[in-house]
Structure 1
């Protein structure tokens, strides 16, 4: 089913009232967002919290932002402070997996409890409007002259945009280990650096750059999807001649040590929120593709993503 058709079906379910699990008591949830305000994890966590409240599944939601190290700092705090707490959730995603592979932190996802994958999207690379470079071809040519002169700005080391930049360099015949990648602790910081011309090219999900692209403050030059994003005239890296395709996804984990019944209740709660109008609207507004995956299927997916990302990063010369 196409993304637009799926969103329409979700909206129809919301309209007829097929919403929260009435037998489940509303919880007072605590949401760990392991990134600074303004980025994709922050937007996702707060949109999810609002939808859970609107659906009557959560009486309240409190948020804590703790950025750094591709989410590893927030992950460690979440694991250590929330053991056994059935009302604690943490936003995470592909970026965290990449950060764990490169940073090898003492606390990893195996200590937390998988709940659900929520969304997926592809990365868009942009230039500030004032840049003398106009296309991805210009960026590559500049890198060939002097790799250090091109500053790539994005999420933490090991993020999907970092991996995509390394893959692109390798495809262009360059030493991927020599790319000048500047990591930021959150999407807000990265956006400010791009707008201020402090980095040459920036990468992130389209939703994070949308308002700046539409206002003309950023120029999109490529997307990491297999085909062009619907309704957007942004070339894919593949059609530009570079065999680079990588997607981003986001999900939620629960605290370590919760009972199986508590895990199931959280899975049911997240599943139910996908039928809530507030969440459907958030998907549409942010250009997120719904990608619900729960239980063992989500656990297995994360394991497969670890293996895939590790292989890609080895091939790209990142590890």
Structure 2
């Protein structure tokens, strides 16, 4: 991961997705004085684009204050993640908050593939063989349809060479409901953030077959998907975005603030405490990565049969088709 500092960034405009009411942001603002000089005129208020990102937004704002940034009203920075991108793609761009400016990737949660403890599938290879041979008879479950857990199973199926459109997936509003369905025999495997499955893993009710991160996780006896022969490195990421019409000076100051905060020991500690991966990526590097993530997400949703291949969808990141 590139940890280099950015230089002056070109002003670009981007369509984001599912960000909520960015213009109404009113949370933990940030403003900082540099080397004892007068405080920068632009202040930033860090706000979640939905309840599921509130914890990350609070942590980011808290570390910013600890790093010397002062709270106050100002230009909103909205914190959202992969589910927002999925929602925009599934809704053909409807309900978008507007054009936004990508600033930085903040953190991510590792996903885990689990089976009931008594499952006849002893490891990921058993599961993969079953999915490859009988994709329509390998029911799987997790969070809502079309969101990260579903995407992960789509990526796994594609990586194995299975017919992705035959994957039988049932989504549930919460991890608790998905766990109940799995343990009741309504699915042979489930996926979700490791944090949602720790309780059942600890109680011995389920077994982990694989994790979605590029490296194994301490304290969990499970291989990565990459080790298991599936070329997938996947996290349920969260990022920061600025609003439409963000001036170049405000944008540069926001990028500097993100750059300062995301490399502090305080941010690393906050991520460890919450069980997140720290995934700092700022400015142009984040912009390029985001473009590839948009393309991957769109392709998986198309492979799963959830969107068609001809309609124009959101353009979040650099596009070559003028969207």
TM-score category, normalised to shorter length: 0.5 to 0.7
Where relative contact order (Cα < 8 A, 6+ residues apart) is larger, the structure is: 1
The equivalent of 2:253 in structure 1 is 265
The equivalent of 1:43 in structure 2 is 55
Determine the C-alpha separation between the residues in 2 that align with 1:29 and 1:317: 39
- CA RMSD, Structure 1 to Structure 2 (Å): 3.8
Deviations 1:7-63 (A, max 9, x none): xxxxxxxxxxxxx943446957351233x44xxx34322322332344342437xxx
The answer as to 2:17 corresponding to 1:32 is no
Indicate which of 278, 296, 299 corresponds to 2:284: 296
Deviations 1:116-172 (A, max 9, x none): 11124542112355767554455456655573662311255142x322212333455
1:197-276 to structure 2, matched below 5 A, reads 197=183, 200=187, 201-230=189-218, 232-276=220-264
Residues 1:49 and 1:268: Cα distance change in structure 2 (over 3 Å): same
- The higher radius of gyration belongs to 2
- Verify the 8 A CA contact 1:170 1:316 in the aligned structure 2: no
Residues 1:296 and 1:28: Cα distance change in structure 2 (over 3 Å): closer
Determine the C-alpha separation between the residues in 1 that align with 2:2 and 2:204: 29
1:1-319 to structure 2, matched below 5 A, reads 21-23=32-34, 24=39, 29-34=45-50, 36-37=51-52, 41-59=53-71, 86-108=74-96, 111-129=99-117, 135-137=123-125, 139-140=127-128, 147=136, 150-159=139-148, 161-172=149-160, 174-184=162-172, 189-195=174-180, 197=183, 200=187, 201-230=189-218, 232-314=220-302, 319=307
Residues 1:192 and 1:52: Cα distance change in structure 2 (over 3 Å): farther
Deviations 1:145-201 (A, max 9, x none): 573662311255142x3222123334555432232323355xxx1244315636633
The equivalent of 1:16 in structure 2 is none
CA drift at 1:291: 2.6
- Verify the 8 A CA contact 2:47 2:54 in the aligned structure 1: no
**Structure 1, unaligned stretches of length 5 or more?**
4-19, 61-84
- Verify the 8 A CA contact 1:118 1:290 in the aligned structure 2: yes
Determine the C-alpha separation between the residues in 1 that align with 2:218 and 2:118: 26
Determine the C-alpha separation between the residues in 1 that align with 2:300 and 2:228: 20
Say how many residue pairs are matched. Answer: 271
Runs (4 or more) in structure 1 with deviation over 6 Å come to none
Q: Secondary structure at the match of 1:118?
A: strand
Determine the C-alpha separation between the residues in 2 that align with 1:226 and 1:30: 30
- Verify the 8 A CA contact 2:113 2:209 in the aligned structure 1: yes
Q: Secondary structure at the match of 1:209?
A: helix
- Verify the 8 A CA contact 2:103 2:283 in the aligned structure 1: yes
TM-score (norm 2): 0.66
Deviations 1:47-83 (A, max 9, x none): 22332344342437xxxxxxxxxxxxxxxxxxxxxxx
